[in-house]
Each structure stands twice: as C-alpha cells, then as structure tokens.
Amino acid sequence: MKTSSTNERDTKNIPPTTYYQFLEISVRELLIEKGVLSDEDIRNAVKEMDSRGPELGAQVVARAWVDPQFKQSLLQDAPSAVKALGLEIGPVQLLVVENTPEVHNLIVCTLCSCYPRSLLGLPPDWYKSREYRSRAVREPRSVLLEFGTDISDEVEVRVHDSTADLRYLVLPQRPEGTGHLTEDELAALVKRDSMIGVTEVCFSAI
C-alpha cells in the first residue's frame, strides 16, 4: 500500500484510451473555452488535493495526545480546534471520535465514499468497495479482524456512517511506552488506517 502524487500514466505521459478519459478531457476543455474555469484553476485544485494526506490527521492526533486541552476542544468542536492548528477543513462538519480502553470507533460511508479528506487526503479504494461499505456496519469485528485488528469482546465497537455533510475522524489510543517521544515522533507513528479505525497505533521500542 502506498500513496504518492505521481504514477505511471502521468509520468510516462500515456495517452487517454477510455471513453470516460476522453469525456473528462472534453468537459474540462469546454469549461475552459467557455471561461468558466482556467487550466490553472484545475492545476491548483489538483495541487491542493496532493498536498492533503494522512500526515495532517496524524499531526492533529499527536497534538491531542500531548495537549489535553486541545483534545477536549477537538472532541467538542473539531472544525475550530483543527483551524486553530492552522489547518483548513472547508465547510464540511467534522466529528472526532475517541478510542478508549472501553470503546473502539470505526468509520465508513455506506452510501458512497464520504471521508475526512481534508485531513487524510483521498480515500483508499477498499474504503469505497462494496465489501467494506456493506459489512462495516453489520459485522465490524470481523471486518477489523481482516485488517489484523482483534478487539476484545469487552470493548464496545462503535461504527460511524459518514454523510456528505458530516465526516468522522478516529482519535486512536496513544500506545504504551511513548511517554518520552516528541510530538513529531508521535505523529510519525499515526497511520491513515488508525484514523479510519481499522487498525490501532503500534509502537515498539527498539
């Protein structure tokens, strides 16, 4: 699993071949010809998209781990708290749900693909798959097991079904033995999947 902003087709300049690729070019060029958008607008929007990835969410999580006051405001009013960190999340409502020894949270969008993209970037394909969307709300524990996450029966599993207007982000539990780490070192431990809730944050002292 990897995420990066370039890929084979872009870098090798492979020409479009499918109907929908031609359609994208056609619509884009027509809108530009009509003066609705400019080429630069589109390039900037793509650049902005590429600048957003899970490291932003990880930054938020690490701050919440080291700063109890920030954590409190994050759980109460995530958009304002995140804004105070200098991150822009747009007009969409965001709710941060906290994992504790008693509760494990998982996010899904059963109807489509809603995702906290301002803090995690674009969602992975499996998040948008029929299998994940169907099963996450029905049998979350077996879904979690498929991601290698074994949640004890004593722990409540809460599944949050996102909508176009309300997105969720999981605040994972801070792993044991990380008391000596700096905020940046903590952020480096926090991976995308732990903020979706399919995994937990791991730390092994070397």
Partner 1 sequence: MERDLTSRSHHDMGGLEAGHIKPVEHDYELWEKNVDALLVLLTSMSPKLMSVDQLRKGIESLPPDAYEKMSYYERWIFSITQALQYNGVLTTKELSRKLEEVQSRYETEEV
Q: Which residues bind partner 1 (CB under 8 A)?
A: 1-7, 9-10, 15-16, 18, 20-31, 34, 36-37, 41-42, 45-46, 49-50, 108, 110-113, 122, 124-126, 128-138, 143, 146-147, 161, 164
CA 107 to chain CA centroid, Å, is: 10
**Neighbour-count burial for 165-177, b at 16+ CB within 10 Å, e otherwise:** eebbbbbbbbbee
Residue with Cβ nearer partner 1 (125 or 153): 125
As measured in angstroms, the least distance from the Cβ of 12 to partner 1 is 11
Whether 109 is catalytic? yes
202 a catalytic residue: no
Structure tokens at 83: 């804004």
Comparing CB distances to partner 1, the nearer of 144 and 201 is 144
Dist CA 123 CA 151 (whole Å): 24
Catalytic site includes residue 26? no
Q: How far is the CB of 34 from partner 1 (least distance, A)?
A: 8
Give the pair of three-digit tokens for residue 151: 């949640």
113 is a catalytic site residue: yes
Strand partners, 94: 167
Which of these is catalytic: 5, 38, 112, 202? 112
Q: Distance between CA 71 and CA 18 in Å, rounded?
A: 47
All residues at 6 or more sequence positions from 109 whose CB lies less than 8 Å from its CB, including other chains: 115, 127, 128, 133, 161, 162, 163
Query: Smallest gap, in angstroms, from Cβ of residue 178 to partner 1?
Result: 26
Which residue, 2 or 180, is less far from partner 1 as judged by CB?
2
Of 114, 118, 162, 194, the active-site residue reads 114
What positions carry a catalytic annotation?
109, 112-114
